[in-house]
Amino acid sequence: MEFERITIDPNKMRGVPCIRGLRIPVATVIGQLAAGRTAEQILADFPDLEPEDIPAALEYAAEAVQERELPLKRTA
């Protein structure tokens, strides 16, 4: 997986995938979207982000989920 706007640096944020070398984890952006916040709200809260960072975070998250087997909760 190679993404221009997503960086992973073991010496920064414990190697968590971040946006463009900033200390803003991809998971933070995805969590904000999942909470119902708009891209405009996220950009206002994180002024270092650029509009292109939000779809890049979504693309990265989608690819990351496809790379792993996730356990499903069994229903009775």
The answer on pLDDT for 76 being more than 60 is no
pLDDT at position 45: 97
Q: What is the model's pLDDT at position 66?
A: 84
Residue 58: per-residue pLDDT: 96
In the chain, the domains with their CATH numbers are 6-66 (1.10.10.10)
Instruction: Render pLDDT for 20-32 as a digit per residue (tens, 0 to 9).
Output: 999 999 999 999 9
10 sits in the region (left: phi over 0; alpha: psi -120 to 50; else beta) called alpha
H, E, C per residue of the chain: CCCCCEECCCCCHHHCCEECCCCCEHHHHHHHHHCCCCHHHHHHHCCCCCCCHHHHHHHHHHHHHHCCCCCCCCCC
pLDDT tens digit sequence for 3-16? 899 999 999 999 99
Structure tokens at 51: 């509009």
In this prediction the pTM is 0.83
